């Protein structure tokens, strides 16, 4: 039978270290005193003690009539309240029922005016009127654009720049597109297998030329106003 050579050392370590994991935490814990038991209503919040009112402080005067006061007697009115009420009921306008809304068939009723379903904002005096801050912001934007245009024109005059007309711009755009079609046609005529260095260089030159032409065409189509330097 196989017997491990570490068997006696394992037995010795188990006997020596036996008491190390015998307890968790301190072995002796302070026991609470039996006098500190939980009493009734001890955890309820306690109100602060009521302060005694000062004797010299005057009490507020009451609106109740005094015991010695006597009511005024002998006052009579000649109004006929029955006739007045009848005339008011005949000549008065009928009371209109308040509009209500119900959330479901057998639900509770709620006033429609306070429910948020009535568009009260359309009854405002300034409804549909542009706010002042919007008009002020638009004016500031227009002023900034005018200042920017004036600054650009001044710089262009200093640099002697010339603005391209629409005809020149369209003709230039058409020429760039024709050049791109020509380069694309040459690119399509390339062989499928490009195994020599001249073929690779020719293909790279066509790709860079087409990319530059696409960039120029996009620039001309995006910007309608173009300036060039006078030679």
- Cα 78 from Cα 40, distance rounded (Å): 70
So what's the pLDDT on residue 25?
63
Q: Quick check: 139 and 204 in contact, CB under 8 A?
A: no
Whether residue 127 lies inside any domain: the answer is no
So what's the pLDDT on residue 224?
80
Q: Quick check: 213 and 179 in contact, CB under 8 A?
A: yes
Which residues have C-beta within 8 Å of that of residue 217, sequence separation ≥ 6?
173, 176, 177, 180
Neighbour tally for 205: CB within 10 Å: 12
71, two tokens: 């009511």
Whether residue 180 lies inside any domain: the answer is yes
So what's the pLDDT on residue 163?
77
So what's the pLDDT on residue 82?
92
Residue 214: in which H helix or E strand, if any? helix 197-222
Whether residue 183 lies inside any domain: the answer is yes
Dihedral sign, Cα of residue 38, residue 39, residue 40, residue 41:
negative
Return per-residue pLDDT of the chain as tens, 231 residues: 888 999 999 888 888 776 655 666 666 677 888 988 988 988 898 888 877 765 566 667 777 888 888 888 888 888 888 999 999 989 988 888 888 888 888 878 888 888 878 877 777 787 888 889 999 999 999 999 999 888 888 877 776 667 788 888 888 889 999 999 999 998 888 888 888 888 889 889 999 999 999 998 888 888 887 777 665
So what's the pLDDT on residue 147?
92
List the domain range (segments joined by +) for residue 211. Answer: 162-228
Whether residue 193 lies inside any domain: the answer is yes
So what's the pLDDT on residue 20?
58
Whether residue 54 lies inside any domain: the answer is no
So what's the pLDDT on residue 74?
81
E strands within the chain?
100-102, 109-111, 161-163, 227-229
So what's the pLDDT on residue 24?
64
Number of domains in the chain: 1
Q: Which residue has the tokens 């020429």?
A: 175
Whether residue 213 lies inside any domain: the answer is yes
Whether residue 176 lies inside any domain: the answer is yes
Which residues have C-beta within 8 Å of that of residue 42, sequence separation ≥ 6?
none
Q: Residue 221 CA to chain centroid, in angstroms? A: 37
Whether residue 48 lies inside any domain: the answer is no
- Cα 71 from Cα 53, distance rounded (Å): 35
Q: Where are the alpha helices (DSSP H) in 60-165?
A: 81-91, 132-159
């Amino acid at each position: 039978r196989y017997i491990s050579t570490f068997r006696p050392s394992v037995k010795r370590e188990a006997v020596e270290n036996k008491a190390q994991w015998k307890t968790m935490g301190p072995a002796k814990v302070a026991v609470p005193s039996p006098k500190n038991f939980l009493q009734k209503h001890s955890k309820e919040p306690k109100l602060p003690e009521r302060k005694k009112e000062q004797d010299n402080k005057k009490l507020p005067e009451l609106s109740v009539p005094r015991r010695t006061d006597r009511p005024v007697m002998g006052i009579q009115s000649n109004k006929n309240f029955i006739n007045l009420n009848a005339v008011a009921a005949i000549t008065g306008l009928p009371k209109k029922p308040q509009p209500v809304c119900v959330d479901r068939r057998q639900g509770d009723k709620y006033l429609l005016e306070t429910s948020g379903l009535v568009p009260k904002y359309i009854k405002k005096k300034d409804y549909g009127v542009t706010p002042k801050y919007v008009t002020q912001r638009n004016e500031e934007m227009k002023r900034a654009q005018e200042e920017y245009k004036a600054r650009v024109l001044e710089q262009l005059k200093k640099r002697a720049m010339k603005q391209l007309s629409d005809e020149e711009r369209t003709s230039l755009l058409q020429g760039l597109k024709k050049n791109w079609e020509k380069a694309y046609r040459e690119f399509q005529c390339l062989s499928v297998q490009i195994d020599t260095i001249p073929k690779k260089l020719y293909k790279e030159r066509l790709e860079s030329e087409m990319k530059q032409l696409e960039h120029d065409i996009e620039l001309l189509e995006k910007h309608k106003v173009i300036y060039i330097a006078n030679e």
